């Protein structure tokens, strides 16, 4: 029983939610990350690069803002 209590939080640490694209207009992309911090995760940056790459541009981080439920929205400019 104690092993289950110890292992449960460790199992949750491996669950990394994927970033969600909330807006894209060709010039910028907004990605929402659950439990995000001041800096986006490498997975979020990679997704921004992928999305901006569809229009032949590279993503550059511009800003971040906190949303309800511990979500963070990151704005990337496609340059």
Q: What are the boundaries of each domain within the chain?
A: 17-78
* 7, two tokens: 């292992």
Assign 36 a pLDDT band (cuts: 50, 70, 90): confident
The pLDDT of residue 12 is above 60: no
The pLDDT of residue 67 is above 70: yes
Kindly state the average pLDDT of the residues 41-68: 95
Assign 1 a pLDDT band (cuts: 50, 70, 90): low
Contacts of 20 (CB under 8 A, 6+ apart): 31, 32, 33
Q: What is the value of pTM for the model shown?
A: 0.79
Tell me phi and psi for residue 22, to 5 degrees.
-100, -20
Q: How many CA atoms lie within 13 A of 41 on its CB side?
A: 16
Give the separation between CA 40 and CA 61, rounded to whole angstroms.
9
* 19, two tokens: 């970033």
């Amino acid at each position: 029983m104690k092993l289950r209590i110890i292992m449960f939080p460790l199992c949750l640490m491996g669950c990394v939610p994927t970033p969600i694209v909330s807006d894209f207009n060709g010039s910028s992309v907004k990605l929402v990350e659950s439990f995000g911090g001041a800096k986006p995760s490498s997975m979020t940056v990679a997704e921004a690069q992928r999305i901006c790459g569809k229009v032949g541009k590279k993503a550059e981080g511009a800003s971040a803002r906190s949303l309800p439920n511990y979500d963070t929205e990151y704005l990337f400019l496609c340059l």
